[in-house]
Amino acid sequence: MSQAAAAAATHNVFVYGSLLADDVVRVLLNRVPPSSAALLNNFHRFSIKGRVYPAILPVENRHVTGRVLLGLTDPELIVLDEFEDVEYQRTSVEVSLLESSEKLQAYAYVWSNTSDPNLYGDWDFEEWKQLHKESFTKMTMGFMEELELPESKPRVATYESFYQQDSGNSVI
């Protein structure tokens, strides 16, 4: 593959939840790609009852801060698709880079159920890091081990079985 073709086959992905943590990204992709702080306008980041990760949905006059992972390969995008599972839909969005105000096309994983009664309030990354990052990273390791098996479980099943076993971590 020529260098130009390789460059054309890369993707930018706006992340706003657990994938803000380099440890989680490294487990999924075996690397931490270059990234840039970014803003997604007209969306809101919700907490989800019974989950430690957030959801975003379109909401006028709101915004979500996060970062854009730059230069992801097709195989890496497939891993993220598997990780985000059926709960999210990969959607093309326009984000603004915070350092330059430059606009950039990226994918974002948007919550599939637009009328989900389990969405509420705001989700806080700093709180997540303190309360859930360590156990979530372990769950992600289990997901990646499972993904390599011929009959792998979907990420939601991995998440639910992990957090049911791990009763020491309450899920709010």
Mean pLDDT of the chain: 88
Is the pLDDT at 166 greater than 50? The verdict is no
Of the chain, the percentage scoring pLDDT greater than 90 comes to 76
* Beta-bridge mates of residue 66: 38
- What's the predicted TM-score (pTM) here? 0.86
DSSP notation for 103-118: EEEEEEEEES-TT-TT
Give me the sign of the Cα torsion angle 52, 127, 61, 93. negative
List pLDDT tens digits, range 143-165: 898 888 767 666 666 677 766 65
Identify the residue with better confidence: 141 or 7: 141
**In this structure, are residues 126 and 119 in contact, taking their beta carbons and an 8 Å threshold?**
no
Side-chain half-sphere exposure of 1, counting CA atoms within 13 A: 8
List pLDDT tens digits, range 25-69: 999 999 999 999 999 999 999 999 999 999 999 999 999 999 999
Return the pLDDT at 160. 74
Point out the residues that are catalytic: 84
Is the pLDDT at 168 greater than 80? The verdict is no
Domains of the chain: 3-165 (3.10.490.10)
